[in-house]
């Protein structure tokens, strides 16, 4: 049976102008959109209608002052929101469309109109804090979509998995004190933004519902597979999410200029396979991905192609990818030390 897969894409996301030398440039999406057309994937998916997020939807995650700060960049050239986060005359509009269109994709998946989907948007979001733009991110798209699903659709449990090479500090902080969202992150550490150590596990009602797996540089397919297979899968099965949202960053790719990791196309295909199987098993296939980082422009497009083919059912799901490097078990043991009391299903 053909899979109904949605994609968010549009020219407005190219109009967030960060400058020719900035790694988070419009060229990322030009390459990805070109790949969709060249491979015929564009003909297999439904393009989701774009819409802007409302002020109220943004304010579920961000402060009024932050909203106004991003709004204030409209029509202005050369604005920098922090040292590496530029904004241009159309950035506010692009950011509203990124967050709102991800909500629309999420709505379509939850309603059954679509089986799954991928929001190929920019600016990215997972570093954006309640009152601060940072790390190339203006509004926290995934956090906003999760908050919308909890509030408007009455969901009680949303799993957010984040495989960007940088820790999603903004997403973590958005849900740090609630059990309604489980935030799971793999990321290089120590690395920007400096958060995401093992002992950051949540607090109050959220204690145990933040799971960080900080990784040393140079990790590749087998190491990421080990983490997601041995840590995420048992925790997700215990949590039983009603929706799975993915912050999909491709800067762990071996050719990425910023990441310092060794993931390949096959490794990302394996991660996609894990998410698809979990969604099918736990929440009627309700899986939504949103683009975060990834600065090897052509490489990121190839990795996204591998995930898209599996969402569409056009390629086989990838089995386990072999043994991680010697000594990697210490990472898994450290995760277990901090989380076994919350998740007895962890057998590490």
Tens-place pLDDT, residues 250-274? 999 999 999 999 999 999 999 999 9
Query: What's the mean pLDDT in 303-312?
Result: 98
User: Is 127 tagged catalytic?
Assistant: yes
Number of domains in the chain: 1
Is residue 344 domain-resident?
no
Is residue 264 domain-resident?
yes
Q: What percent of the chain has pLDDT over 90?
A: 97
Q: Tokens for 341?
A: 């009391």
**Whether residue 321 has pLDDT greater than 80:** yes
Q: What percent of the chain has pLDDT over 70?
A: 100
Is residue 75 domain-resident?
yes
Per the structure, the complete domain to which residue 97 belongs is given by: 5-339
**Whether residue 20 has pLDDT greater than 90:** no
pLDDT category of residue 347 using cuts at 50, 70 and 90: confident
pLDDT category of residue 173 using cuts at 50, 70 and 90: very high
Please tell me the pTM assigned to this model: 0.98
Q: Given 66, 127, 167, 187, which residue is catalytic?
A: 127
Query: What's the mean pLDDT in 167-184?
Result: 99
pLDDT category of residue 114 using cuts at 50, 70 and 90: very high
Kind and range of the H or E element at 5? Answer: strand 5-8
Q: Tokens for 339?
A: 């989380």
Under 8 Å between Cβ of 128 and 62: yes
Is residue 209 domain-resident?
yes
∠ CA 260-262-266, nearest 5°, is 145
pLDDT at residue 1, as a whole number? 72
* Buried residues in 31-56 as b, exposed as e (16+ CB within 10 A): bbbebbeebebeebbeebebebbeee
pLDDT category of residue 185 using cuts at 50, 70 and 90: very high
Is residue 348 domain-resident?
no
The mean pLDDT of the chain is 98
pLDDT category of residue 28 using cuts at 50, 70 and 90: very high
Is residue 347 domain-resident?
no
Is residue 161 domain-resident?
yes
Is residue 345 domain-resident?
no
Query: What's the mean pLDDT in 63-78?
Result: 97
The domain spanning residue 233 has which CATH number?
3.40.800.20
């Amino acid at each position: 049976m053909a899979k109904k897969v949605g994609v968010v894409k549009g020219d407005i996301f190219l109009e967030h102008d960060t400058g020719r030398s900035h790694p988070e440039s419009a060229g990322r999406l030009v390459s990805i959109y070109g790949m969709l057309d060249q491979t015929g994937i564009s003909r297999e998916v439904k393009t989701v209608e774009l819409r802007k997020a409302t002020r109220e939807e943004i304010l579920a995650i961000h402060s009024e002052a932050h909203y106004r700060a991003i709004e204030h960049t409209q029509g202005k050239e050369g604005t920098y929101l922090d040292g590496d986060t530029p904004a241009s005359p159309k950035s506010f509009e692009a950011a509203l469309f990124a967050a709102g269109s991800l909500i629309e994709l999420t709505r379509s998946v939850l309603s059954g109109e679509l089986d799954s989907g991928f929001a190929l948007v920019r600016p990215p979001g997972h570093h954006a804090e309640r009152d601060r733009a940072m790390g190339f991110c203006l509004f926290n798209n995934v956090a906003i979509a999760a908050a919308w699903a909890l509030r408007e659709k009455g969901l009680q449990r949303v799993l957010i998995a984040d495989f960007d090479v940088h820790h999603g500090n903004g997403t973590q902080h958005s849900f740090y004190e609630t059990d309604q969202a489980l935030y799971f992150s793999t990321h290089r550490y120590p690395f920007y933004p400096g958060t995401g150590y093992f002992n950051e596990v949540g607090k109050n009602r959220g204690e145990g519902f933040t799971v960080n797996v900080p990784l040393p540089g140079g990790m590749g397919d087998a190491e990421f597979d080990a983490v997601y297979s041995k840590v995420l899968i048992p925790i997700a099965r215990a949590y039983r999410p009603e929706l799975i949202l993915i912050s999909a960053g491709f800067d762990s790719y071996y050719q990425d200029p910023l990441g310092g990791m060794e993931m390949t196309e096959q490794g990302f295909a394996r991660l996609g396979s894990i998410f698809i199987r979990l969604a099918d098993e736990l929440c009627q296939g309700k899986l939504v991905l949103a683009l975060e980082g990834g600065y090897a422009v052509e490489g990121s497009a190839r990795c996204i192609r591998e995930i898209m083919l599996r969402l569409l059912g056009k390629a086989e799901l990838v089995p386990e990818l072999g043994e991680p490097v010697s000594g990697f078990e210490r990472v898994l043991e450290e995760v277990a030390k901090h989380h076994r009391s919350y998740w007895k299903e962890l057998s590490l």
